[in-house]
Amino acid sequence: MLKELLDWYLRSLDTGGYPLIVLLMAIESSVAPLPSEFVIPPAAHLAHTTGRFSLVGIAVAGAVGSWVGATVMYWISRLAGRPFVLRYGKYVFITPEKVAGAERWAAQFGQWGIFVSRILPVVRHLIGIPAGIVRMNFLRYSLFTLLGSVFWCGILCWLGVKAGEDEALLAGDAKRISLWAGAVVLVLATLYYVFVHRFMRPKAGAKTDVP
């Protein structure tokens, strides 16, 4: 199933080009469970092997798409307000607990938290909520979102190129696929634990203000 999806995506890139990357990354940065790890590395591999795209172009397209999705989350939260997000967010997998965690993250790290959040699963598509609720300056929010997104997309491009140089992986060797997948999952899980469970957890005795 994964191979069929990947084949479809690579074929679609021939016609969709950079706008397709922008679209998919915008979706990834909103509420849809579409991982950037699926979008950027295959495109980077295609660029490296065929010259159809440039790695810089892919990273920029990915960052622009991330900014679009993050901007949607920001303005929905800013215009609708916290009560609306808490009441209806659960219907798009945004629970009150996640909102409270993102608010703690934003309060502790501010604008640089926007930058770091772009490399973190879960936090990535939630950070626009507290930023919008507290009416963070939109230009600064956009700047740190773009910087963090370019950085993350650059890492994913490098990963796509390195994975593409692994002949056993490209040949479909199950063991090699498992090793690559395991390494990526381990890194993301570690980042998620350190930042989400360490920095976003409420301190002992602190009120979470979650209804």
Taking every pair of Cα atoms in the chain, the longest distance, rounded to a whole number of angstroms, is 57
Secondary structure class of 171 (helix, strand, coil): coil
d(CA 79, CA 138): 13
Per-residue pLDDT of the chain (211 residues; tens, 9 = 90+): 556 777 788 888 888 889 999 999 999 888 776 788 888 888 888 888 888 889 999 999 999 999 999 999 999 999 988 888 888 777 766 778 878 877 777 777 778 888 888 887 777 778 888 888 888 899 999 999 999 999 999 988 988 887 766 554 444 444 444 455 556 556 666 665 555 555 555 554 544 444 4
Residue 105 has a pLDDT of 74
**Model's pTM, two decimal places?**
0.75
Which amino acid makes up residue 203? K
Q: What is the CA radius of gyration of the chain?
A: 18
Residue 172 has a pLDDT of 46
Q: ∠177-180-197 over CA atoms, to 5°?
A: 130
d(CA 169, CA 154): 21
Region of 51 please: left (phi>0), alpha (psi -120 to 50) or beta. Answer: left
Question: Alpha carbon of 62 to those of 29, 91, 96, 202: distances in Å?
Answer: 10, 27, 29, 32
Residue 184 has a pLDDT of 59
Nearest to 117 by CA among 198, 188, 38, 195: 195
